[in-house]
Structure 1
Amino acid sequence: MNMGIYYTYQHEDAWKVALERGYLQGDPHYALFNDEGFDFFKPAYDWMVEQYEQRIGISLNGNYPVWCWDEFPDLSIGGHIGQGNKGVVLTVELPDDQVLASEISFWDFVPYHSTFCDTLEAFDHRENIDPAYTRKSWEKIFDRAWCESMAAQSGTAPTYQYVIHRIELHHVRAVMPFQDLSDSWLDRIRGFVWRLGYRLGLKKSIPFQWQGNCHFKEIS
């Protein structure tokens, strides 16, 4: 079985629940669509659930997937779990055949109900496009060859995000507690200190090995 290293950031409370039950799953309570002004994201999340179940063949049983990335998140800035909230970044090793990749920038087409048009004519008449065609066009975000071709035309490199139905705690390799920052001057200084410490290797994740029972130490 091929395995890959990924990173996911989670609310502290979601991590506490995971430690109690032995796995982490996408809790709707902590989903982005609960944040003010982001309720329109819920249909997009529901669509991603459908795609995961169809493409990977694993049911989420009414839950949402866990979002992951292949690079460690930049904790020197906010916008991860809501400013002031406490959380953790988990370094996880996951089975490749249970992970679904999609291109991040093209993913934005889904919550905004935009259409990927194959021709200029279709783009000029996109207001008349069948909604079913629009939904089908979103599936291009899973096509790496197409994403890379489109990104090359704009002179950028594609960036991918990953979802999995849940993360078993024996797949967690390390944990880094953090507190999401705001845009205040004080938090900008804190962010600079974090970035410097991370680059110098002074700020490191704590190795984690699941033993079946753990006690979570609160983030100070």
Structure 2
Amino acid sequence: MGVYFTNQTIEAFNLINEQGILTGNEDFVDEDFLPSYKWMIKQMDRRINNDGSFPIWLWTKKPNLNDEGHFYKGTDAVSLTVEVPDNNVLLSDFEAWHCVLNEWFCSMTDEESKLFEQDKLNITKEQSWERIFDLEKIQKSEMWNGNSQIVQGVTTVIHKEQILNIEHFTAK
């Protein structure tokens, strides 16, 4: 079991109180990011025995709730501390995830990036995205050079009983 953090709207929190569980929901995904989310769902299906469910995003370290970007400004939300079995969580590098979101090649070196642009590599852009799960490789790579230190995770469901702490906040 691992301890993780997830930020949810007050509406999602009310659902978990009413239904006893929280699941990922396609309705809350920006349509521009839908292809990236569907790619992540396929990875979840392969790596943590997911059934095609949309992800619930987790953090391995508690995010600063005073930072912008958690939700639209003024959104009432909660930060939940949850305990989830580690085998139900797929970890990835937050910064490298942006390669998937932006449909970039996930390069490990400047040279590799140049070779990809010249079509001289035997790896596709989509295959390079799987590197986001190799946290050690990302940290040691020339391209990321230890700059990427935020580890995120996805899981399929959170049960009300898994909530260890609730912190209410208003998004900045």
What is the one-letter code of the residue matched to 1:77? D
- More contact order relative to length (CA 8 Å, sep ≥ 6): 2
Cα 1:102–1:30 shift into 2, 3 Å: same
How much has 1:144 moved relative to structure 2? 2.2
Q: Indicate which of 74, 96, 103 corresponds to 2:86.
A: 96
Where structure 2 has 5 or more consecutive residues not aligned to the other structure, the ranges are none
Aligned counterpart, 1:110:
100
| Count of residue pairs the alignment pairs up | 170
* Distance in structure 2 (CA, Å) of the matches to 1:129 and 1:47: 25
Where structure 1 has 5 or more consecutive residues not aligned to the other structure, the ranges are 34-38, 182-220
- 1:169-200 Cα offsets, whole Å, 9 max, x none, are 1111111111112xxxxxxxxxxxxxxxxxxx
Cα 1:157–1:27 shift into 2, 3 Å: closer
Q: Percent identity?
A: 30
User: Is 1:160 aligned to 2:160, yes or no?
Assistant: no
User: Is 1:137 aligned to 2:128, yes or no?
Assistant: yes
User: Is 1:83 aligned to 2:81, yes or no?
Assistant: no
Aligned counterpart, 2:8:
10
Aligned counterpart, 1:24:
22
Cα 1:75–1:142 shift into 2, 3 Å: same
* Distance in structure 2 (CA, Å) of the matches to 1:168 and 1:129: 47
Aligned counterpart, 1:54:
46
Cα 1:80–1:164 shift into 2, 3 Å: same
Cα 1:77–1:55 shift into 2, 3 Å: same
* Distance in structure 2 (CA, Å) of the matches to 1:19 and 1:129: 53
What is the DSSP-based 3-state SS (H/G/I as helix, E as strand, rest coil) of the residue aligned with 1:93? strand
Q: Indicate which of 19, 25, 33 corresponds to 1:41.
A: 33
Q: Which moved more, 1:69-78 or 1:151-160?
A: 151-160
* Distance in structure 1 (CA, Å) of the matches to 2:149 and 2:142: 6
What is the one-letter code of the residue matched to 1:23? I
Considering only CA atoms, is the larger Rg found in Structure 1 or Structure 2?
1
RMSD: 2.3
* Distance in structure 1 (CA, Å) of the matches to 2:50 and 2:2: 18
- 1:43-80 Cα offsets, whole Å, 9 max, x none, are 111111000110111213xx311001012121123211
What is the DSSP-based 3-state SS (H/G/I as helix, E as strand, rest coil) of the residue aligned with 2:169? strand
How much has 1:166 moved relative to structure 2? 0.9
